[in-house]
Amino acid sequence: MFDLIIKNANIIDGTGMPSFTGDIAVDDGIIVNRGKDLGDAKTIVDAKGLSLVPGFIDSHTHYDAQLTWDPWANPSPKLGVTTIIIGNCGFTIAPCKAEHRELTIKNLTNVEGMSLDALKKGINWSFETFPEYLNFLEDRGVGPNVAAYIGHSSVRVYVMGEEALTRKANNDEIIEMENIIKEGMIKGGLGFATSTFEGHNGENGVPMPSRLADKTEMQSLIKAMSSFGRGIFMLTRGSNTSIDNIQEWMKGSNRPAVVAALLHNPLSDNSTFNILSDITKAADKGNEIWGQVSCRPLSMEFTMKSPYLFEGIKNWKPAMECPTDELYRKVLADNGFRKNLLNEIEDEAQVRLFNGDWDKIIVREVTNKKFIDLEGLSIKDIAKQNNINPLDWLLNHSLTEDGMDTLFIAMLLNSDEEAVGRLLKHPRSNITLSDAGAHLTFFNDAGYGLYMLEKWVRENNLMSKEKAIYNLTGKQADIYRIDQRGRLVPGQYADMMLIDFDKVGVSKTYRVNDLPGGSSRLNIDGHGIHSVWINGEKVFNENSIIDNKNLPGKVLRGFHA
Ligand SMILES: [Zn+2]
């Protein structure tokens, strides 16, 4: 007698093979058989008309902090995600000494758009080292399965203190960092994650610690990661980090690398494809590199109090560095500041989040009713009506009463469907980049997997169901060396979901106030999901999360070579 049999399902098994109608039997959380007439079970589900697929493996999340107060990593499991990878870009909360907690929280607030108040009230600091963090998650329990990178910026602050934000590391410090990484890998780290991206800044615009690392430090730390023949090197690249640089850093490590964030930029049409061809050339030489791409248009909500989209622009720095509101307003009003900013925005040679596409920034909601007629208009149109430069309009508006509270939405990157379609189909692409757990006030792409099926399979026919599911499950397990997950074949863990392919998709995002201390975040719902199982345990049923006392997820520690 098995624990569970799902009968008559259209099985799309995550291998990319053609789907077929059949049954799957689960015992003790493991898929033990598949075929027809498998016998008896305690629970039998008739899945006629529905598709059974592996749960999604979301390889780019930032749930590191949230997991300490929300073991479920909401909303990912209700969107079909059964395994999450945390620590991306190297922004983690372990290791962290008590005296660096404040600094870590402030940096996360800025770089990943997390509420300061929520982090302060929410984070449970029952750990100091990376192995202690994994133990804490394991002892307390997790909803989905969790794999964790060792994060460069955290390791740097742990070893160098505040100086991690201002200088290169010396030899002794590099050796200490190597030891922390080796220890982390022995205790179950997925790999080593870092960032050289110019848009990644901590409090007051100070570059995140990993951005100050030199070549020797990068080489040494990657080598430390690979000491035991395991580990993924994850990098969010800045414009000065080429694929050649990455290969040089990784020389001799013989490990795979994943590079974020390859988003299509309409003003620099070829740049992302050029990176993918460099990645292909590297792969042809035997250096396994993958490009993390996204299937979602990148839209962000923001106010001028903290306009994340400007932070990759060098001439925005004076504004970012202002310690008080009053000084911030002074800088925004300054003509010289505006002129430098405008020159840089209009320089089309740069690749960054915002490229002067003012028609893509829309007024979403005003606080001051005087401006109610602006809602729904683009900054380009408003500026045209007022015969003023769009940047000047935006900065002038932010200096009016309540202008800093006006909510904008920016449709920045990845909105050209033809180009995004080509990115998704590229053989070196890794479809991911939900950034779930971060930027919660700007966007929420945790439902990227369902969106991929809705938008790119059902509506656009870009690829077959089987291929899309493979990309979101089996291929993820392969790239990240995750054992026994990502496919519905005997011997694998029963991470599965039952969906109605004709209805599958996501809702629009909507705002809720449920973070610790009542801070707001954007939430999103899925459509067409009937059930989700994690390690054989049902966690979601017919559009509602089961109030589950058990936390069925596992902290993943064993990864293959
Ligand atoms: Zn990230």
- 208 alpha carbon to ligand 1 midpoint, in Å? 13
Which amino acid belongs to residue 504?
V
DSSP letter at 386?
T
Rounded to two decimals, the pTM is 0.88
Predicted local confidence at residue 548, as pLDDT: 67
- 389 alpha carbon to ligand 1 midpoint, in Å? 33
Predicted local confidence at residue 438, as pLDDT: 86
- 60 alpha carbon to ligand 1 midpoint, in Å? 6
Measure the CA–CA gap between 461 and 415, rounded to whole angstroms: 17
- 182 alpha carbon to ligand 1 midpoint, in Å? 23
DSSP letter at 370?
G
- 237 alpha carbon to ligand 1 midpoint, in Å? 11
What DSSP line would sit under 495-559, residue for residue?
-EEEE-TTT-EE---EEE--SGGG--EEE--EESEEEEEETTEEEEETTEE---SS--B-B---B
- 188 alpha carbon to ligand 1 midpoint, in Å? 21
- 192 alpha carbon to ligand 1 midpoint, in Å? 14
- 61 alpha carbon to ligand 1 midpoint, in Å? 7
- 368 alpha carbon to ligand 1 midpoint, in Å? 34
Measure the CA–CA gap between 540 and 531, rounded to whole angstroms: 5
- 96 alpha carbon to ligand 1 midpoint, in Å? 19
- 435 alpha carbon to ligand 1 midpoint, in Å? 5
- 111 alpha carbon to ligand 1 midpoint, in Å? 9
- 502 alpha carbon to ligand 1 midpoint, in Å? 31
Predicted local confidence at residue 163, as pLDDT: 97
- 496 alpha carbon to ligand 1 midpoint, in Å? 26
Predicted local confidence at residue 430, as pLDDT: 98
- 286 alpha carbon to ligand 1 midpoint, in Å? 26
- 88 alpha carbon to ligand 1 midpoint, in Å? 5
- 87 alpha carbon to ligand 1 midpoint, in Å? 8
Q: Residue 146 belongs to what H/E stretch?
A: strand 145-151
- 464 alpha carbon to ligand 1 midpoint, in Å? 28
- 236 alpha carbon to ligand 1 midpoint, in Å? 7
Predicted local confidence at residue 18, as pLDDT: 98
- 314 alpha carbon to ligand 1 midpoint, in Å? 20
- 2 alpha carbon to ligand 1 midpoint, in Å? 40
Q: Which of 295, 197, 281 is nearest to 244 (CA)?
A: 281
- 62 alpha carbon to ligand 1 midpoint, in Å? 7
- 509 alpha carbon to ligand 1 midpoint, in Å? 19
Provide φ and ψ at 482, rounded to 5°: -90, 120
Predicted local confidence at residue 266, as pLDDT: 77
Whole-angstrom CA distances from 548 to 90, 483, 531 are 31, 26, 14
- Joined together, the tokens standing for residue 189 give 């780290």
- 466 alpha carbon to ligand 1 midpoint, in Å? 27
- 532 alpha carbon to ligand 1 midpoint, in Å? 26
- 549 alpha carbon to ligand 1 midpoint, in Å? 30
Within 10 angstroms of residue 295's Cβ, the number of other Cβ atoms is 27
CA-CA-CA-CA dihedral for 485, 489, 493, 499, to nearest 10: 90
Predicted local confidence at residue 547, as pLDDT: 66
Measure the CA–CA gap between 295 and 412, rounded to whole angstroms: 14
Measure the CA–CA gap between 552 and 285, rounded to whole angstroms: 41
- 436 alpha carbon to ligand 1 midpoint, in Å? 9
- 429 alpha carbon to ligand 1 midpoint, in Å? 16
- 200 alpha carbon to ligand 1 midpoint, in Å? 9
Rounded to 10 deg, the angle between the 171-186 and 152-160 helix axes is 130
Measure the CA–CA gap between 45 and 41, rounded to whole angstroms: 10
- 524 alpha carbon to ligand 1 midpoint, in Å? 19
Q: Which residues contact 391 (CB under 8 A, 6 or more apart)?
A: 338, 341, 342, 345
- 121 alpha carbon to ligand 1 midpoint, in Å? 23
- 484 alpha carbon to ligand 1 midpoint, in Å? 26
Which CATH architecture fits 55-297+414-453? Alpha-Beta Barrel (3.20)
Predicted local confidence at residue 64, as pLDDT: 97
Predicted local confidence at residue 304, as pLDDT: 95
- 172 alpha carbon to ligand 1 midpoint, in Å? 29
Which ranges of the chain have pLDDT less than 50?
none
- 194 alpha carbon to ligand 1 midpoint, in Å? 10
- Joined together, the tokens standing for residue 360 give 């893509």
Rounded to 10 deg, the angle between the 271-284 and 417-425 helix axes is 10
CA-based torsion, 541, 546, 552, 556: positive or negative: positive
- 545 alpha carbon to ligand 1 midpoint, in Å? 27
Predicted local confidence at residue 454, as pLDDT: 97
- 456 alpha carbon to ligand 1 midpoint, in Å? 23
DSSP letter at 5?
E
- Joined together, the tokens standing for residue 98 give 């008590």
- 439 alpha carbon to ligand 1 midpoint, in Å? 9
Domain ranges of the chain: 55-297+414-453, 301-412
